[in-house]
Structure 1
């Protein structure tokens, strides 16, 4: 009877993971650049402080696989985070190519998106635990009205990733656990902008570049139980090297644009490639129980965004279709949070974090109008029984106003975008986790 129940529970959990994988279609950027921290909702209330040391549910597969040794039996967690980024541009003297109307501010480039994730862990022996996670570590979507002042720089920018992460953890002794994971990740990119030829007054065409690829990576983690009340976790995720393959296509939007599109399709259109190296990350976390009711957490994390210096798209003939100068820098994130056990069934969470942007002011683009941000988070966890929990978390991200002054490499072809962004992000997450 017990085995039948376990098989049914395992089958149900695998269906949850399949739903999570199929649902990963919406994207939104909230952390630095287009990194997504929403690997769960249980950590959202703490602003993801202590992410590599908490290990309270199966989502530790992503944050630190070594934490799986703290989860007896079989565990499953499924979360959905609803993200609402806002990016509102204010024009402060922008120019457009000759013969083109100036246009407006583009509206709000952000919109609601759902980010699901699913995890399972299996305790194989007293020392060995296996796990599987499905999530989206990177994502971005900004979209402006097609007639805005910066339309020759960007209209739509969308990046989606899906990451499948089998893992295994080994309990060395009562103090130290180690974990390792393999990552299979897929990326899809879709970029659009308007194009013109100043020699054809008023000509207007749309350019669109689409591409995708898959890559392999790895992650490792360690967990030290320093004392009964203190735990330290360390985790590292490798870079992901992509060579995206896809197409570049140009569509005329008026008579002059038809001429422009025809020329560009003949010289720059067709099959294209782009090399992209998504960054590695390292995290050091502490989990400190200071009383029967209070637990405090801290986090220091680093992301190697300097791997992205330039995005260049080249067609099969070797012709450069477009080049985006990034020159991003490595970043740091610091987080602090706490959990208060209000009762045996209810815990209250809070968190505060500072998240540094990799974007330099001199090369800020409308595709990623990013700046430093401060997180303020709250959450509640309800445990209806000893083996399950429901988490609800909310975070508001206060983003520093982002100035931009960029001609995209050619003021004649793209104009010069000059102005300031007013940005913010709201995140609402829900998670269910259980043990069986």
Structure 2
């Protein structure tokens, strides 16, 4: 049971904000690989990426609506699971359309304060395996995370702005797993069908500093949000030596959407070419274990061992490095980006529900100014995931093989308007 653990599909999906995190929640962010923390392009997505930059924007209403396509390539696994195999397995491919919205107000009051709001999808997505033994732990997990982030910015002086925001995170998920397990007998089966949701809260802080016209510095912090997911669980097993063999009732789990820190510096040359460097630290070490709760004890050892016993996760903090390049022309702005990202998942707890690896992403995009009020943007990002070997001498899930593929394509189109 310990070798082929039944992982939480809800928790794994939530934590796809690390493995399949979605920092690119606007057209410009996709184009720049989210290297848009320091440089002010007078776009409404400043309300999300660095609300302190709002104090340096033109004095009018800014609004931007984006639609982003996210395509997840199939993940392949070749190797053994426990004492069985070898297997040649692959997950299903996944495709999503994600809308986002950003708004920045004109100047309010004598202190030149601004307010903004962003509605984004900072994490979630889905992964499905339809073949045993992968579907035993990861038949389906689908999770939606929507964040409403109202923000305010205050002008300290002509070179320094401060921003603060309130994170309202709405989470909903579906979990399914079913299959044959190796203990107590080779024909013992267990299944799970769960749904859950929650509304949870956090905050974010930001600084924007412009010591010169060419040099810009940005620092942001987004707090951890504990996702207190509650819902219902339908659990079943054919192991009838100990009753009951089913459970239908309430369940809950708390998992972290981790804190993150960004520090960025941007410089604009006389040619209107801007280069920005961003360092991001994501505090995934907050995810230490997975522990489901139920109002009653699961006395059947199969149900208890598969779905109730705490599972160690021991994720690690990660470092991400981003580079963004912007070239402003008369009516056209061209952008490109590079992202080098680490996985938070150690080899010991790697599983089918989130077979994450280190990755490198490249991006391109542009915005066209239709008139003084309206502009349109188009961008794309391709994230290339490394191969990852796993050894059963280390891995808690008994995996001994290699994960490959799993690349990600993101395409975004956005419309900006000022009034």
- Match for residue 256 of structure 2? 277
1:257-291 CA distance string (max 9 Å, x none): 8x59983424xx42112121210011111221112
- Match for residue 312 of structure 1? 291
Answer whether contact 2:15 2:257 (CA < 8 A) is retained.
Answer: no
- Match for residue 118 of structure 1? 101
- Match for residue 403 of structure 1? 389
Measure, in 2, the Cα distance between the counterparts of 1:249 and 1:406. Answer: 31
Structure 2 SS opposite 1:112: strand
Give the C-alpha shift of residue 243 in structure 1: 2.2
Deviates more, 1:50-59 or 1:129-138: 50-59
Report the CA distance shift for 1:32/1:215 in structure 2 as closer, same or farther (over 3 A). Answer: closer
- Match for residue 301 of structure 1? 280
Give the C-alpha shift of residue 158 in structure 1: 2.1
Among candidates 190, 194, 203, match of residue 178 of structure 2: 194
Measure, in 2, the Cα distance between the counterparts of 1:260 and 1:369. Answer: 35
Among candidates 65, 80, 96, match of residue 67 of structure 2: 80
Measure, in 2, the Cα distance between the counterparts of 1:194 and 1:96. Answer: 19
Answer whether contact 2:347 2:394 (CA < 8 A) is retained.
Answer: no
Give the C-alpha shift of residue 403 in structure 1: 2.6
Among candidates 50, 73, 76, match of residue 89 of structure 1: 76
Answer whether contact 2:14 2:257 (CA < 8 A) is retained.
Answer: no
- Match for residue 6 of structure 1? none
Measure, in 1, the Cα distance between the counterparts of 2:24 and 2:242. Answer: 40
Among candidates 172, 178, 203, match of residue 218 of structure 1: 203
- Match for residue 265 of structure 1? 246
Give the C-alpha shift of residue 364 in structure 1: 0.7
Structure 2 SS opposite 1:273: strand
Number of equivalences: 394
- Match for residue 393 of structure 1? 379
Give the C-alpha shift of residue 187 in structure 1: 1.3
| 2:140 paired with 1:156 | yes
Report the CA distance shift for 1:306/1:238 in structure 2 as closer, same or farther (over 3 A). Answer: same
Measure, in 2, the Cα distance between the counterparts of 1:29 and 1:111. Answer: 17
Deviates more, 1:52-61 or 1:163-172: 52-61
Structure 2 SS opposite 1:317: coil
Measure, in 2, the Cα distance between the counterparts of 1:224 and 1:410. Answer: 47
Give the C-alpha shift of residue 194 in structure 1: 1.5
Among candidates 48, 72, 76, match of residue 62 of structure 1: 48
Give the C-alpha shift of residue 337 in structure 1: 1.7
Give the C-alpha shift of residue 35 in structure 1: 2.4
- Match for residue 331 of structure 1? 318
Give the C-alpha shift of residue 369 in structure 1: 0.7
| Alignment gaps of 5+ in structure 2 | 1-12, 299-303
Report the CA distance shift for 1:362/1:246 in structure 2 as closer, same or farther (over 3 A). Answer: same
Structure 2 SS opposite 1:231: strand
- Match for residue 22 of structure 1? none
| 2:333 paired with 1:351 | no
Answer whether contact 2:343 2:358 (CA < 8 A) is retained.
Answer: yes
Measure, in 1, the Cα distance between the counterparts of 2:417 and 2:234. Answer: 48
Structure 1 SS opposite 2:157: coil
Report the CA distance shift for 1:260/1:217 in structure 2 as closer, same or farther (over 3 A). Answer: farther
Measure, in 1, the Cα distance between the counterparts of 2:332 and 2:128. Answer: 40
Measure, in 1, the Cα distance between the counterparts of 2:291 and 2:392. Answer: 17
- Match for residue 165 of structure 1? 149
Measure, in 1, the Cα distance between the counterparts of 2:193 and 2:233. Answer: 6
Report the CA distance shift for 1:329/1:199 in structure 2 as closer, same or farther (over 3 A). Answer: closer
Among candidates 348, 354, 365, match of residue 362 of structure 1: 348
Measure, in 2, the Cα distance between the counterparts of 1:204 and 1:75. Answer: 56
Structure 2 SS opposite 1:138: strand
Structure 2 SS opposite 1:306: helix
Give the C-alpha shift of residue 151 in structure 1: 2.2
Structure 1 SS opposite 2:27: coil
Measure, in 2, the Cα distance between the counterparts of 1:409 and 1:225. Answer: 48
Structure 2 SS opposite 1:233: strand
Report the CA distance shift for 1:195/1:273 in structure 2 as closer, same or farther (over 3 A). Answer: same
Measure, in 1, the Cα distance between the counterparts of 2:396 and 2:180. Answer: 12
Among candidates 146, 164, 168, match of residue 180 of structure 1: 164
1:102-149 CA distance string (max 9 Å, x none): 69644333311122210111122361111111111121311111x333
| 2:412 paired with 1:426 | no
